[in-house]
Amino acid sequence: MPERIIKTALVTGSTDGVGRVVANRLARDGMRVLIHGRNRERGESLVAEIKAGGGTAEFLAADFAALAEVRRLAEAVAKTTDRLDLLVNNAGIGSAGPKGTREMSADGYELRFAVNYLAGFLLTYLLLPLLRKSKPARIVNVSSLGQQAIDFTDVMLTHGYSGSCAYCQSKLAQIMFTIDHADELKGTGITVNALHPATYMNTTMVCRAGVTPLSTVEQGADAILNLATGAAVAGRSGLFFNGQQEARADAQAYDVEARARLKRLSLELAGVRSAAA
């Protein structure tokens, strides 16, 4: 009998919240799961939990506030596995910062744009060789219904900053990247879709913002797993979902010129030479 292939998934931001639930369920369903987060103690705790349930997992640490760490994460993934069947770009930070102040990443970029969008943008390009080897493969970008059109004259929000604006802009950028990347990946066997998993889940991010949860991380995980492993979306790409229903994003997501501007800027900021890198 042919040897059974064990599929591998990387779930960023999976030491807490909805990412933790997704990682657990993927492992329970037989996938090898690469856990990512900043906190090693929480990461190793999740690995132990998965292994206790008979699953396979490893923890890889990286702080997405620094693109150098994103690059190191991609290198660590390549050393850990020779295949990657699923990439879930889930890591992110919410709209609530210290006293609403504008924060910067290690690279000098507005923090929410850097962590919620640019880190995943770079990581995805760096992991494309592994995804191509493992086709059919899927990329899932965990975005939000909270979206705001990008002002390309002030992407880093140096004027009139608000954490809410920064968060919503970063989440729309994820969707714009999803649509663009789907076009790039046509014919490669890799699909990429984005979603708003659920509204105000009972996550640390929501609680820190002082918001009363309206849904659970289990509901959010159901929606993410629908795109990650669901048969109904197999071969479909460049879509945005609200939960498990296909939906429309902000109008700017469908503006070809706006997406092209964002792509050029992102390639430059992330230090990626070309879209084929």
Mean pLDDT on 10-33: 97
Question: Which amino acid belongs to residue 264?
Answer: R
Q: Name which of 67-71, 245-249, 271-275 the model is least confident about.
A: 271-275
Asked if 220 and 163 touch (Cβ cutoff 8 Å), the reply is no
More confident residue, 198 or 124: 124
> Is 276 among the domain residues?
no
Please say if the pLDDT value at position 200 is more than 90.
Answer: no
Structure tokens at 277: 């890198």
Which is more confidently placed, 101 or 182?
Answer: 182
Average pLDDT, the chain: 93
- What are the tens digits of pLDDT across the range 88-106? 999 999 876 666 689 999 9
Of 17-26, 145-154, 190-199, 268-277, the poorest mean pLDDT is in 268-277
Q: Could you tell me the pLDDT band of residue 6, with boundaries at 50, 70 and 90? A: confident
In a domain, 261, yes or no: yes
Which of 109, 117, 125, 167 is the catalytic position? 167
**Would you say residue 153 lies in a domain?**
yes
Q: Sign of the CA dihedral 29, 35, 39, 41?
A: positive
Sequence-distant (≥ 6) Cβ neighbours of residue 9 within 8 angstroms: 23, 26, 31, 32, 33, 34, 84, 85, 86, 87, 88, 228
Percent of the chain with pLDDT over 70: 92
- Compute the distance between CA of residue 168 and CA of residue 15 in angstroms, rounded to an integer: 23
Beta bridge partners of 247: 240
Is residue 119 predicted with pLDDT exceeding 50?
yes
What pLDDT does 201 receive?
78
> Alpha helices of the chain — where are they, by DSSP H?
17-28, 40-52, 67-80, 111-112, 119-133, 163-184, 204-208, 217-229, 256-270
Where residue 272 falls among pLDDT bands split at 50, 70, 90?
confident
Using omega within 30 degrees of 0 as the cis cutoff, is the peptide bond preceding 197 cis? no
At residue 16, the pLDDT reads: 92
Q: Which residue has the higher pLDDT, 203 or 116?
A: 116
Q: Examine the pLDDT at 213 and tell me if it is beyond 80.
A: no
Q: Is the pLDDT of residue 1 over 50?
A: no
pLDDT of 277 reads 43
CA separation for the pair 246, 229 (Å, rounded): 16
Does some domain include residue 2? no
CB 118 within 8 A of CB 124: no
For the segment 167-181, what is each residue's pLDDT rounded down to a tens digit? 999 999 999 999 999
CATH of the domain at 132: 3.40.50.720
Q: Is residue 78 part of a domain?
A: yes
Which pLDDT does position 205 carry in this prediction? 65
> Does 104 fall in a domain?
yes
Q: Following CA atoms 134, 138, 142, 145 in sequence, which dihedral angle do they give, to the nearest 10 degrees?
A: 160
Between residues 136 and 274, the one the model is more confident about: 136
Look at residue 143 and tell me if it is in a domain.
yes
Enclosing domain of residue 255:
8-270
Whether 275 is in a domain gets the answer: no
pLDDT at 207: 61
Q: Determine whether 167 is an active site residue.
A: yes
For the segment 214-250, what is each residue's pLDDT rounded down to a tens digit? 678 899 999 999 999 999 999 999 999 999 999 999 9
∠ CA 31-35-36, nearest 5°, is: 150
pLDDT of residue 274: 58
- Count: domains in the chain: 1
**End-to-end Cα separation, the chain, in angstroms:** 37
